Structure 1
Amino acid sequence: MKRKSSLILLTLVLALGSLLAACSNNNSAQSPGGTTTNEPAAAVDQVLNINLMSEPPTFDPAQAQDSQTNTVLKTMYEGLTRMGEDGKEQPGVAESWEISEDGLTYTFKLRDNAKWSNGDPVTANDFVFAWQRVLDPSTAPAPPYAYQLYYIKNAEAYNLTGTEGYKGTAVKDFADVGVKAVDDHTLEVKLENPTPYFLGLTSFYTYYPVHSSVEGNDKWAVNKDTMITNGPFTLTDWTKGQTIEVSKNENYWDKDSIKLSKIHMSLVNSGATELSSYQSGQLDFAGHPTGEIPTDQIPAVKQQLPDEFHVKGIASTYYYLFNTKEKPFNNVKVRKAFAMAIQRQPLVDNVTLGGQLPAYGFVPPGIKGATDEFRNEIKDSAYFTEDLTEAKKLLAEGMAEEGVTSIPPVTLIYNSSEAHQKIALAVADMWKKNLGVDVQTQNQEWGVFLDNRRQLNYQIARAGWTADFNDPINFLEMWTANSGNNDSGYANPAYDALIKQAKETTDPAARNEIFAKAEKILIQDDMVVAPIYYYTNVSLTKPNVKGIQIDFSGAIDFTRAYKTE
């Protein structure tokens, strides 16, 4: 999944003092301070204050594609299942389910007391309606995560029938797609192939139900007054560019487990401001995945607030993305030269400072393989190494193939962030020193940045991918030609065939072998992306805040948090 006031005066004052700030790109995979069963005292104000570095572009689950939106959607919606802190699915709207012996049919029993925020019952038809919106070829813009529903029988064919280049079986009627409301509280889902991680997928936002009232209203997801949600909280305030507020949903089926009355989110794109606000007590949580702590302040913060500081590796990858349709990066030798000329260890030691691991593959540690973590079994060091001599040689060969004697100035874009800026400047300096190439860096607002990536309006772009579910395919299927998250212009039939083969293979060891072949094509052969590092989550949490859940991927769930005295 893609990664993104009045506090400014306070920031300036504190900056002139001790400059206590810090940065990174995620949070700990364990509830900060530990999870406890203690009930919060009645006298404690149960309002949680956090910051979002980037404003979510939409609250339509069908259009969502980034971690900031995911954080907020998770408070307002609930799928058939919800993801626990241990990375395992838990009952959500579905109180139980049955899986057929062949692994192809899932029958979900929905809760009788599951309701929308307006009091309407949540029914199986609400899921059918929502999934049809995602897959309908006429939905505009095209949902970027439509491919996550391709595990469902005929879903891919229905979504792609009539599109240019599609040569599969035509499916024009959604009734032929493998999802059916047997009755109001029974949803039947038929799959193309046995998919052992399908239950986890049903906790992802593309699988959320949507209230039928959205039909015909294109603006419903950007207006709090037209949003009807089924999760623990409802959207009660959204002042664009300033704040988002969600309040406890009294119609939520599990409302007794929700202790917070509100979650207040400031929208400030400054790690220094976020840190100073945390230090002054205005924020209860700071850092990733919702915000950032300035990198140069991490050592000081860790020393001064050891009981509130948390850092841990997560299943997430930071990388630079090449536009394979744009010169000179349509040439694979040029792409390889740029990837090889990045010196990763000095970058994480001197710039990011959060204990990140240099990356030479795309699938991160923490993702499950056949017997244990995929990255423990398949070593990324086999794909490529940093080699300045080879990088210069490849660059010269690539330029010769393109008929030029030098590379014109290159632009690297990144979404506005102090951390991304520091990394971009450091890498641009490496490319200048190691390759003799001038690289301009350009920051862009989150929504504009995402749109430019989607439209292939860039040469090199910063990117990050966090696991949506615990399987290597989540990191590899996004680079298929029909993936809505493939912002590179890359298309390789051999690669697509391997991903298709992996989906049809049930033997775990055989799947790992297929994934390794696919990752080799992606990184070693075609160098579509330049992996930089595997993330860690760096965050601060007030001692009286309990119950924040951060899973294996770094995704954060504030819904069960609460405050003690």
Structure 2
Amino acid sequence: MQKINRGSRFNKSVRVGVLLCLLCTVIVAGGCGSGESNVASGNREGILYWGNGAEPQELDPHIVTGVPEHYILIALLEGLVQKDAATLQPQPAVAERWRLSADGRVYTFTIRASARWSNGDRLTAHDFVWSWMRALTPKLGNAYAYMFNPIVNAQAYATGELTDFSAVGVKALDDLTLQVTLDNPTPYFLQLLDHYSMFPVHRATIEKFGSIGEAGTVWTRAGNYVGNGPFALRQWDLNKKVIVEKNLLYWDAENVRLSGIHYFPTENLTTEERMFRAGQLHRTSEVPVGKLDFYREQQPDSLRIAPYLGTYFYRFNTRLPHLADVRVRKALAMTVDREAIVEHVLRGGQQPAYSITPPDTLGYTASSDLRYDVLAARELLAAAGYPDGAGFPPVDILYNTFEQHRKIAVAIQQMWKQALNIDVTIRNQDWKVYLDTQANGNFQIARAAWIGDYVDPNSFLDMWIADGGNNRTGWSDPDYERLVSDEAPSAGSVEQRYAILGEAESILLDAMPIIPIYHYVSIHLVHPSVKGLPGNLLNNPNFKHIYLQAEPAAP
């Protein structure tokens, strides 16, 4: 899924409110009004205050693609399985159990008889069939439709080649039995099922406000939203906060220890860090680079840094004439000094990236010839018709509003000027606008990132097929698609599968429609009262297991 980091439109009134609250924190012990901070009252009332990084694009699981939306959707909705927050192993969720056929192709899920929607309606296997049909409806434009590709005929239906959904390998055998048939044994299939793109949605609610293929209707607003997760949507104040409260009709409500969650978008990391220090947040989305040493030395118990299965990269729009030339793309990629970026700009333990898939992803590591080589890059640019940058067309880097993205863009802007003598402008847009700009192809080079949706190299490679909704580069290659979509899924062993995926990634890196820059670590500030939030490779919380436990007051 797309890593946002920042990009909300935190309006003027909210900024003023935050500053006033911080001022009150200095004058009054605790915070504004009641004299009690969010953290103090939240610990007492079971309310988690969560820095979410951005205003969500939407709360429709079949539309969105980002991390900020993910954190809200996993509270409001639940799939057939969930991942253990520590081990990431699939566990029963809406499905209380399942069995797999001897040939590894047919899963049969038993839906919990106690599963309910937040309005009290019974949740059945038919809800999953209809929801997955919606997710694959071409008119809806689900960028994650390719997640369903392991299922028989799912890709054909999503592309419009097939119009009869009954031919897709998803069947409700009865109200509580769902059968899913795959083209080939898929070792990561269960991991897919807790991704929001495969969550069920409430059919009657969708149809009340629009058609099955209609995006952007008001069904996702508070008062309309019907979910099946551990929490229910109570309030969505655009550009301010999203509030969810415990769903008493959730099948496992007795084990949900939080009473609610307040999600806050923040305009910049400095504001968010101040909110944390003022006791207004239990957890931040990230940490300002300039504050890392302070927390390492003064408050190490609040600083959480962990490995994170993600890659920061730039997308090329290969539809543009000068960026359609692979020599130009390689020259630009070879003059990004990744070591300097991670050492001097980021300083959080990130690793330079020379492939899209992070090294040792479940035992897979790509082979890459990408290197920092200014002389070779100048030769390539000259061969493309731009000796010493002469005649190179105007080019810009697009990024979503966030100070760290700006710093990286400025660094790369300077690197390209110094190494290749080309002039580059940089421009920023808010998260929603930025997403639309990329989706419509109105960019030249765009900042991007990808966090694994599941722990498998396929999560980083299957999106670059021609019809992949998250590709957005204009690049495609039939050999790449054959390897990823046909040969890898039917490989006879893990070793064979990884070899095929490695061959595909070599094609991708040789064509260079993207510039890998660095591999992520997750960096957050977390209040010591937050329990049940272990780090994991996907940085994926399980909100139903989180609870708040204030430390005893000092005598």
TM-score (norm 1): 0.88
Output the amino acid matched with 2:461.
L
The equivalent residue for 1:279 is 277
Q: Paired residue for 1:328, among 311, 322, 325? A: 322
* Alignment partner of 1:505 is 2:491: yes
The equivalent residue for 1:166 is none
Deviation at 1:556, TM superposition (A): 3.2
Seen in structure 2, the aligned counterparts of structure 1 residues 396 and 216 have a Cα distance that, compared at 3 Å, is farther
Moved more, 406-415 or 219-228: 219-228
- CA distance in 1: counterparts of 2:404 and 2:549, whole angstroms: 32
Deviation at 1:221, TM superposition (A): 4.1
The equivalent residue for 1:215 is 207
- CA distance in 2: counterparts of 1:78 and 1:526, whole angstroms: 38
| Residue aligned with 1:441, SS | strand
- CA distance in 2: counterparts of 1:188 and 1:482, whole angstroms: 26
The equivalent residue for 1:178 is 169
| Residue aligned with 1:103, SS | coil
Moved more, 221-230 or 89-98: 221-230
Q: 2:295 touches 2:302 (CA, 8 Å); kept in 1?
A: no
Deviation at 1:366, TM superposition (A): 5.0
The equivalent residue for 1:384 is 370
1:157-176 matches, cutoff 5 A = 157-161=156-160, 170-176=161-167
* Alignment partner of 1:303 is 2:304: no
CA deviation map 1:91-119 (0-9, x unaligned): 01000000000011100001111111011
- CA distance in 2: counterparts of 1:62 and 1:506, whole angstroms: 32
Q: 1:316 touches 1:554 (CA, 8 Å); kept in 2?
A: no
Q: How many residues align?
A: 516
* Alignment partner of 1:461 is 2:451: no
Q: 1:316 touches 1:534 (CA, 8 Å); kept in 2?
A: yes
Deviation at 1:84, TM superposition (A): 1.3
- CA distance in 2: counterparts of 1:269 and 1:329, whole angstroms: 32
| Residue aligned with 2:178, SS | strand
The equivalent residue for 2:233 is 235
Seen in structure 2, the aligned counterparts of structure 1 residues 419 and 13 have a Cα distance that, compared at 3 Å, is farther
| Residue aligned with 2:358, SS | coil
Output the amino acid matched with 1:91.
P
- CA distance in 2: counterparts of 1:456 and 1:557, whole angstroms: 35
| Residue aligned with 1:427, SS | helix
- CA distance in 1: counterparts of 2:79 and 2:399, whole angstroms: 32
Q: 1:362 touches 1:475 (CA, 8 Å); kept in 2?
A: yes
| Residue aligned with 1:393, SS | helix
**Unaligned residue ranges in structure 2 (runs of 5+):** 5-14, 26-40, 211-216, 551-555
The equivalent residue for 1:374 is 364
Moved more, 390-399 or 109-118: 390-399
Output the amino acid matched with 2:178.
L
The equivalent residue for 2:409 is 424
Deviation at 1:241, TM superposition (A): 0.6
- CA distance in 2: counterparts of 1:216 and 1:262, whole angstroms: 27
* Alignment partner of 1:256 is 2:267: no
Q: 1:151 touches 1:192 (CA, 8 Å); kept in 2?
A: yes
Deviation at 1:437, TM superposition (A): 1.2
The equivalent residue for 1:197 is 188
Output the amino acid matched with 2:259.
S
**Unaligned residue ranges in structure 1 (runs of 5+):** 15-40, 162-169
Moved more, 261-270 or 110-119: 261-270
The equivalent residue for 1:148 is 147
The equivalent residue for 2:547 is 562
The equivalent residue for 1:117 is 118
The equivalent residue for 1:28 is none
- CA distance in 2: counterparts of 1:81 and 1:64, whole angstroms: 20
Deviation at 1:13, TM superposition (A): 11
CA deviation map 1:165-193 (0-9, x unaligned): xxxxx522111111011111100011111
The equivalent residue for 2:36 is none
CA-atom RMSD, angstroms?
2.1
* Alignment partner of 1:134 is 2:135: yes
1:477-516 matches, cutoff 5 A = 477-500=462-485, 501-516=487-502
Seen in structure 2, the aligned counterparts of structure 1 residues 359 and 11 have a Cα distance that, compared at 3 Å, is farther
- CA distance in 1: counterparts of 2:361 and 2:500, whole angstroms: 15
Seen in structure 2, the aligned counterparts of structure 1 residues 221 and 3 have a Cα distance that, compared at 3 Å, is farther
The equivalent residue for 1:7 is 18
Q: 2:43 touches 2:529 (CA, 8 Å); kept in 1?
A: no
Seen in structure 2, the aligned counterparts of structure 1 residues 302 and 12 have a Cα distance that, compared at 3 Å, is farther
Q: 1:550 touches 1:557 (CA, 8 Å); kept in 2?
A: no
- CA distance in 2: counterparts of 1:113 and 1:43, whole angstroms: 30
Seen in structure 2, the aligned counterparts of structure 1 residues 353 and 412 have a Cα distance that, compared at 3 Å, is same
Output the amino acid matched with 1:104.
R
Seen in structure 2, the aligned counterparts of structure 1 residues 366 and 236 have a Cα distance that, compared at 3 Å, is farther
Of all paired residues, the percent bearing the same amino acid is 38
| Residue aligned with 2:116, SS | coil
| Residue aligned with 2:356, SS | coil
Deviation at 1:334, TM superposition (A): 0.5
Deviation at 1:12, TM superposition (A): 9.6
Q: 2:78 touches 2:194 (CA, 8 Å); kept in 1?
A: yes
- CA distance in 1: counterparts of 2:326 and 2:93, whole angstroms: 45
- CA distance in 2: counterparts of 1:144 and 1:9, whole angstroms: 41
* Alignment partner of 1:88 is 2:89: yes
